[in-house]
Structure 1
Amino acid sequence: MDGDLRAVIEEWHRVVNEGDVTVARTIVTDDVEVGGPRGSASGVDAFISWIESAGIHLEPVAWHPLPDAGVVVEQRASRPGGGRSAEQHPIPVVTLFKLRGDRIAGSWRFDTVREALVYPAAVQ
């Protein structure tokens, strides 16, 4: 996997985990798509809104590069201070990332790697 691709996705994790919306605006495309079990939305404002409301911490644990500037990342997800022992018991989740140039053009959350890999042909 290209080092630049990994660096951008690591920065995505940092800004999400820290709620750094200033830097978040600089690492995504203007038409970034964000998707998950509750639907999808597009645009920088939708991404920022998700960061502000999610309150999630995502720790990458495995990387699966795809052709054409994409990668599936397995993660441990927790909600610090989220109650119901979320901090003590992180759950596995998977995010499919699509890049355009040096920015993230899309991130979609799934429960399994298999689901991410078949999502419209892994976002051709």
Structure 2
Amino acid sequence: MTTSEMATVLAWHDALNAGDFDTLLSLSTDDVEIGDAHGARQGQAALLNWARDLDAKAEPGRIYVNDGVVVVEQRIVSVTGEVGTSASAFRVVHDHVTGVFRHDDLDAALAATGLTEADLTG
């Protein structure tokens, strides 16, 4: 585990939740991939469009890290006040997010990445 990978992902969440798109893009590679079970898009323009359309905040919870892969359990709060949970798997290289994939829950994210409870940060 490296602190910089966690810090990058936490800063990415902060920028996303604040609507600070310049910082969000600066924390992501030019060819960043963003996806979920319905498909994926690539590039900063796709990330920017996705972030602008987002109608919720993702509050980080438990974080798992191993070899550039970061899984974050998230509390999702929509603009209507509805609360749910999900998890996202990030790939971080040289302090930049190269990919983020949203999963319905933590178990699915951990299974997809091969991370385990042993990778849970303290």
Matches within 5 A, 1:18-33: 18-33=18-33
SS at 2:10 equivalent: helix
Aligned to 2:38: 38
**Match 2:112 to one of 110, 119, 122:** 119
Matches within 5 A, 1:103-114: 103-114=96-107
SS at 1:119 equivalent: helix
Q: Paired residues, what number?
A: 115
Task: Tell whether the 8 Å contact from 2:17 to 2:57 is kept in structure 1 after alignment.
Answer: yes
TM-score with structure 1 length normalisation?
A: 0.84
Structure 1 unaligned segments of length 5 or more: list them. none
Structure 2 unaligned segments of length 5 or more: list them. 116-122
Are 1:73 and 2:76 counterparts?
Answer: no
SS at 1:62 equivalent: strand
Give the CA deviation at 1:3.
1.6
TM-score with structure 2 length normalisation?
A: 0.85
Aligned to 2:91: 98
Task: Tell whether the 8 Å contact from 1:16 to 1:56 is kept in structure 2 after alignment.
Answer: no
**4+ residue runs of structure 1 moved beyond 3 angstroms?**
none
Give the CA deviation at 1:115.
1.6
Give the CA deviation at 1:120.
6.7
Aligned to 2:17: 17
Q: Percent identity?
A: 29
